[in-house]
């Protein structure tokens, strides 16, 4: 049976500066993660984004409408003890990065990939992450130094940014696109559109299914909300 949604149990949502970060308060009570840890977040901007999600809830609380809250719950509860595993996951994705696998038969689509993806790969190479491309479906072995550079970048990130980085890596299927967003080379939605070139190409010729469009719009909305965490 589906879990029954919890009713909104608070009236006022506010933020307050705490020791070492910012807190979100519901009727003056500090918000905690599902694991009962105090949700202490690193910036006032982050606290305000979470507070806005809680304030926007109506009669019932719908976690699926609260992407920033969900991400920070993970960042507080899970990331500190799992940093090396997350770093390894990002490195593994880079080994089969979506931007490296090109169309081998349809010339126009292959050229479209080159126009859209090559500038991002060139930028990544300038960051020390030079990845090879292929038209084969068989995975190619990437240079270890490039993969280690992705791991080093991930390791340099604080918990919140590392959590967001790995989440975007999975959404895009690309560590390069995720890194480009974290380094402000691309906006989150720009990277999302680059990650779905094949889907966009198919829509161009076959049209778009309404259910698929709704799912895509939902992912786009979530990405935009999460990437507000990166704005000053």
Tell me whether residue 7 is in a domain. Answer: no
Cα dihedral sign for 93, 96, 100, 105?
negative
How many domains, in total, are found in the chain? 2
Return d(Cα 15, Cα 22) in angstroms, integer: 7
Residue 4 domain-assigned (yes or no)? no
Residue 110 lies in a domain: yes
Same domain for 108 and 219?
yes
Whose CA is closest to 33, among 163, 155, 157? 163
Q: Are residues 41 and 84 both part of a single domain?
A: no
Confidence band, pLDDT 50/70/90 cuts, at residue 208? confident
DSSP, collapsed to helix, strand or coil, labels residue 101 as strand
Co-location of 180 and 205 in the same domain: yes
Q: List phi, psi (to 5°) of 208.
A: -120, 130
pLDDT of residue 137: 85
Burial of 160 (0-12, 13-18, 19+ CB in 10 A): buried
Asked, for residue 112, whether it belongs to a domain, the answer is: yes
Query: Domain containing 98 — which CATH number?
Result: 1.10.3580.10
Question: pLDDT digits over 52-91, tens only?
Answer: 999 999 999 999 999 999 999 999 999 999 999 999 999 9
Residue 8 falls inside a structural domain: no
Inform me whether the pLDDT recorded for 2 exceeds 70. Answer: no
Q: Domain check: are 44 and 138 in the same one?
A: no
Q: What is d(CA 197, CA 221) in angstroms, rounded to the nearest whole number?
A: 18
The answer to whether residue 6 is domain-embedded is no
Same domain, yes or no: 60 and 130: no
For residue 29, the cross-strand partners are 26
Q: Does residue 166 sit in the same domain as residue 194?
A: yes
Q: Do 130 and 177 fall within a single domain?
A: yes
Per-residue pLDDT of 89-125, as tens digits, reads: 999 999 999 999 999 888 999 999 999 999 999 999 9
Please tell me the predicted confidence (pLDDT) of residue 1. Answer: 47
Shared domain for 206 and 93, answered yes or no, is yes
Q: From edge to edge, which strands make up the β-sheet containing 21-26? A: 13-18, 21-26, 29-30
Give me the chain's average pLDDT, please.
95
Q: Which residues contact 16 (CB under 8 A, 6 or more apart)?
A: 22, 23, 25
**Same domain flag for 87 and 26:** no
Q: Are strands 29-30 and 13-18 parallel, antiparallel or unpaired?
A: unpaired
Q: Same domain for 153 and 88? A: yes
pLDDT of the residue at 151: 98
The CATH number that applies at residue 26 is: 3.30.2180.10
Does the structure show a pLDDT above 80 at 3?
Answer: no
- Tell whether 214 and 107 lie within a shared domain: yes
The residue range of the domain holding 225 is 80-230
Q: Is the pTM of this model over 0.85?
A: yes
User: Residue 169 domain-assigned?
Assistant: yes
Q: 180 exposed, middle or buried (CB, 10 Å; 0-12, 13-18, 19+)?
A: buried
pLDDT above 50: residue 217: yes
**Is 73 a member of any domain?**
no
**Model pLDDT for residues 151-192, shown as the tens digit of each residue:** 999 999 999 999 999 999 999 999 999 999 999 999 999 999
Quick one: 223 and 129 in the same domain?
A: yes
Quick check: 209 pLDDT over 90? no
């Amino acid at each position: 049976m589906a879990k029954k949604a919890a009713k909104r149990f608070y009236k006022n949502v506010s933020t307050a500066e705490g020791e070492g970060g910012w807190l979100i308060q519901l009727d003056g009570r500090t918000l905690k993660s599902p694991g009962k840890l105090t949700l202490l977040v690193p910036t006032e901007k982050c606290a305000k984004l979470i507070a806005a999600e809680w304030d926007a809830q109506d009669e019932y609380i719908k976690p699926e409408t609260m992407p920033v809250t969900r991400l920070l719950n993970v960042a507080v509860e899970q990331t500190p003890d799992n940093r090396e595993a997350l770093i390894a996951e990002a490195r593994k994705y880079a080994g089969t990065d979506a931007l490296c696998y090109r169309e081998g038969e349809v010339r126009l689509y292959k050229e479209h990939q080159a126009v859209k993806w090559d500038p991002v790969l060139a930028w990544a190479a300038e960051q020390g992450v030079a990845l090879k491309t292929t038209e084969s479906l068989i995975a190619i072995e990437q240079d270890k130094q490039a993969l280690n550079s992705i791991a080093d970048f991930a390791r340099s990130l604080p918990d919140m940014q590392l959590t967001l980085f790995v989440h975007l890596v999975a959404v895009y299927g690309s560590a390069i696109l995720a890194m480009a967003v974290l380094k402000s080379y691309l906006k989150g939605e720009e990277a999302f559109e680059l990650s779905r070139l094949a889907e966009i190409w198919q829509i161009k010729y076959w049209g778009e299914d309404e259910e698929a469009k709704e799912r895509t719009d939902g992912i786009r909305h979530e990405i935009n909300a999460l990437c507000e965490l990166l704005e000053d």
